[in-house]
Amino acid sequence: MQEREGSKTYKEYLKVLKECSPYNFCEYSNNSIDRRITKIMRDNRLNMDELIYKTRKDQSFVEYVVESITVNTTELFRDPLIWEYLLKEVVPKLKGHPQINIWHAGCSTGQEVYSFMILLDQLNMLEKSKIYATDISQKALNCAAKGEYVYNFNYEKYLTNFEEVFKNHTTNVNFNDYFKVDKAKDLISVKAKLKEKTNFIKHDLVKEEMPFYNKFDIIFCRNVLIYFNESLQSRIVQRFHDNLFNKGVMVLGTHEGLNGFFRTKFARNNYVYSKTDTFHFKY
């Protein structure tokens, strides 16, 4: 990969982006970010010096860069076996709690959030749940709040995943209970019952500040840490640990895991990590 364009490298570009915007991508892993910056330059016919100039001058271009750097791929009940495990083994253990606090960190366009709300509803626990969902991408959050997804390409997959998760479930549940499907308009729309409980908030996981003061029973952070270097991953997992109740759980993606130190602080089962005790680690 050609790293040098104009007179500056990608790493230097990320430093400029950090200086002149609220965003710091310096600790993202190199491969994916290099590819994305190359694409931004190609699509906008800019060399590196021009890219830097535009980034310094134009805040709306900065937002476009952020949207272009972040990867928003997601789906309803992504990795259905994990959702089945959550349905049968994890969520029922929270049944006695008076309130259940959930944080989806890096929620993208919301499919993960709606998936979990459906599980909660099936177990009659949705009412007492408080759900926060955050992402760095305002565009993804707007789509999440709207709760509308393209029918084409998605419907078959969403339906297959849905049926896989609920194939052994005790009550009869139908995709149409939660979604309005309009093939003619090419739309799958989330029904109001779910949408009205959501709370989508813009938040950057790289920053230390939290957008809320709650402690959580469950934190989802699936397919997000994979884009960060090890040191940033550790700081974020530390924050999740601090913000979980004892025995609270963190759910990661299938290509993610914990480094040695954190392995002693969470008990792993499937891709679900339960907090085992309290500790604080200074960096």
Binding-site ranges for ligand SAM (CB under 6 A): 70-74, 78, 106-108, 112, 135-137, 140, 204-206, 222-224, 227, 253
Query: Among residues 56 and 235, whose Cβ is nearest to ligand SAM?
Result: 235
In the complex, least distance from residue 98 CB atom to ligand SAM, rounded to whole angstroms: 27
In the complex, least distance from residue 130 CB atom to ligand SAM, rounded to whole angstroms: 19
In the complex, least distance from residue 3 CB atom to ligand SAM, rounded to whole angstroms: 22
In the complex, least distance from residue 47 CB atom to ligand SAM, rounded to whole angstroms: 26
Print the SS3 string covering 134-151. Answer: EECCHHHHHHHHHCEEEC
Q: Cβ(65)–Cβ(17) under 8 Å?
A: yes
Query: Among residues 254 and 274, whose Cβ is nearest to ligand SAM?
Result: 254
In the complex, least distance from residue 186 CB atom to ligand SAM, rounded to whole angstroms: 21
Q: Cβ(152)–Cβ(187) under 8 Å?
A: no
Query: Among residues 28 and 179, whose Cβ is nearest to ligand SAM?
Result: 28
Query: Among residues 5 and 79, whose Cβ is nearest to ligand SAM?
Result: 79
Query: Among residues 5 and 221, whose Cβ is nearest to ligand SAM?
Result: 221
In the complex, least distance from residue 214 CB atom to ligand SAM, rounded to whole angstroms: 18
Query: Among residues 51 and 141, whose Cβ is nearest to ligand SAM?
Result: 141
Residues 6+ apart with CB under 8 A from 197: 117, 126, 129, 131
Pairing of strands 200-202, 129-135: parallel
Q: How many CA atoms lie within 13 A of 121 on its CB side?
A: 17
